[in-house]
């Protein structure tokens, strides 16, 4: 039934609002995620830049397809790199905190 293109899962769901009868708009993290329009034989989903994602039997299926599309301008490799950068920063911060704690323990007898 679906003619959806291959996409990558985001894990983030959009908040949907029916702004007009048969026309739903998705918002993900404060940004436009896409839309779903009712057509004669179902619903057509569009991503955040207006590219058709597919035709679906229910509005829920169409909305889920928009949620599975990578946001424009952010390929999966960028998201992975951003996640790794955050993990690296957290690891460095924990290492610095541990080093300061150890140094304070060593210097405490002389203070």
Distance CA 32, CA 49 (A): 9
Residues 55-61 have a mean pLDDT of 94
pLDDT at 46: 92
pLDDT at 22: 93
Evaluate if residue 39 carries a pLDDT over 90. Answer: yes
Distance CA 89, CA 51 (A): 36
Give the whole-number percent of the chain exceeding pLDDT 70. Answer: 77
Evaluate if residue 18 carries a pLDDT over 60. Answer: yes
Domain ranges of the chain: 15-67, 76-110
Sequence-separated (6 or more) residues with CB below 8 Å from residue 30: none
Report the range of poorest mean pLDDT among 52-61, 72-81, 95-104.
Answer: 72-81
Evaluate if residue 5 carries a pLDDT over 80. Answer: no
Q: How many Å from the N-terminal Cα to the C-terminal Cα in the chain?
A: 74
Token duo for residue 67: 């949620």
């Amino acid at each position: 039934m679906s003619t959806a293109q291959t996409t990558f899962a985001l894990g983030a769901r959009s908040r949907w609002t029916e702004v007009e009868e048969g026309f739903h708009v998705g918002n993900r993290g404060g940004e436009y995620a896409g839309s779903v329009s009712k057509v004669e034989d179902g619903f057509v989903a569009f991503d955040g830049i207006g590219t058709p994602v597919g035709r679906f039997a229910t509005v829920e299926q169409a909305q889920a397809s928009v949620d599975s599309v990578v946001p424009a301008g952010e390929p999966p490799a960028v998201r992975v790199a951003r996640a790794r950068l955050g993990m690296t920063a957290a690891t460095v911060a924990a290492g610095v905190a541990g080093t300061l704690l150890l140094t304070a323990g060593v210097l405490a007898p002389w203070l």
